[in-house]
Structure 1
């Protein structure tokens, strides 16, 4: 028997996932939450989950920080990110943040079923594209990088960097990520330091090189 929490604000999607879990694990106990706060409240109320299926854009959520938030309440929770957003932009960052898997919502049903089974089996689920990126990252790190190359960015810094690359201003980024202006400014300063640049133009050129 598995306890599964589905944090998803689209009812049809939530019920579809619930049906997949029920078909595979008939004795499962499944709870649905349509906001991130309702999801955390369910866990706080004593619902010990084996799997959390989490929509990246759930109302009340905080992007990558949601993983830490959920783990602070239940450290052993397995978390599968299920989202309509592009995996090329977000998958690796969620995995770095500690998620157990990342799956696009346009995935075929058998792939969704496979992802749920793998995560419940204490494995990390990655699509073929993500596996390739992880492999390339590994070989890049082990092939003699020099100290002049940029230091690794944190998941939140990467998120801020993506928005900077989209031409967003500090205020726009703060609103989109629900952060204080000073917090975004601090992230921007750290990004500039790690990327060894002093302005947005040089940052853009450096990002395109790496």
Structure 2
């Protein structure tokens, strides 16, 4: 079975170079190319793609918005950022946006190849260290977005209080607590209380 890889970069020489690097490293690879983000979305809408290798410096300048647009087509699409940037904060920004890997174009070829293979095999090439950093930074970035009441609810959730207990403690309706909980999860980009605890403890 082919491994379908979409290479999104506005430089033809980069797209060709990636194909050369990966041709002998993947199992029956088939490469699609896009020189702009619009073409990327068109290909994703019409073909099954196992991995998107995406340059973040496309002329459209959509940055992290590209990730949500890709995921609107396929919520579980695997995405590897391949960028000229190597700053940690930029890497963390895209990890928070939900990419499966991030490799700088300034790194050695083997790091790029290993990241591609790891994502295709296991779904991610991001180390636990960077996941924790991204979560911790996400909390710092998002704390100011939480209202005082949302922060109260969040602190009770991580202490193990259930919705009914929180409702009684804060004199709120159960439905109101559920609404606050959903807002907290959305703002902090978590899906359960265990993830919420992990963020607050880092």
Partner of 2:140: 152
The answer to whether the 8 A contact 2:36-2:59 is kept is yes
Does the 8 Å contact 1:36/1:61 carry over to 2? no
Q: Distance in 1 between matches of 2:81 and 2:133?
A: 22
Partner of 1:60: 60
Greater Cα radius of gyration, structure 1 or 2: 2
* In structure 2, distance between residues paired with 1:132 and 1:50: 26
CA contact (8 A) 1:4 1:51 kept: yes
Aligned residue number for residue 170 of structure 2: none
Which consecutive unaligned segments of at least 5 residues does structure 1 have? 142-149, 158-210
Report whether the alignment pairs 1:41 with 2:42.
yes
For residues 139 and 39 of structure 2, the distance between their equivalents in structure 1, rounded to whole angstroms, comes to 37
**How far apart are the structure 2 equivalents of 1:97 and 1:152?**
15
Structure 1 partner of 2:6: 5
Please give the alpha-carbon distance, in whole angstroms, between the structure 2 residues aligned to 1:64 and 1:72: 13
The Cα shift of 1:85 comes to 1.3
Residue segments in structure 2 that go unaligned for 5+ positions in a row: 146-202
State the shift of 1:136 in Å: 5.4
Q: Tell me the secondary structure at the aligned position of residue 44 of structure 2.
A: helix
1:151 Cα deviation from its structure 2 partner: 5.3
What's the counterpart of residue 194 of structure 1?
A: none
Deviation for aligned residue 1:135: 4.5
Note the alpha carbon deviations across 1:77-114, whole angstroms, 9 max, x for none: 10000000133131111011110001100111111110
CA distance in 1, matches of 2:44, 2:29: 16
Could you say which residue in structure 2 is the equivalent of 1:167?
Answer: none
Moved more, 64-73 or 13-22: 13-22
User: Could you tell me the TM-score, scaled by structure 1's length?
Assistant: 0.61
Q: In 2, are the aligned partners of 1:79 and 1:101 still within 8 Å (CA)?
A: yes
Task: Give the secondary structure class of the aligned counterpart of 1:110.
Answer: helix
Number of positions where the alignment pairs a residue of Structure 1 with one of Structure 2? 143
Following TM superposition, by how much is the alpha carbon of 1:13 offset from its aligned partner in structure 2, in angstroms? 1.3
- CA–CA distance in 2 between the matches of 1:41 and 1:125? 26
Q: For residue 109 of structure 1, what is the aligned residue in structure 2? A: 109
Matched, 1:21 2:9: no
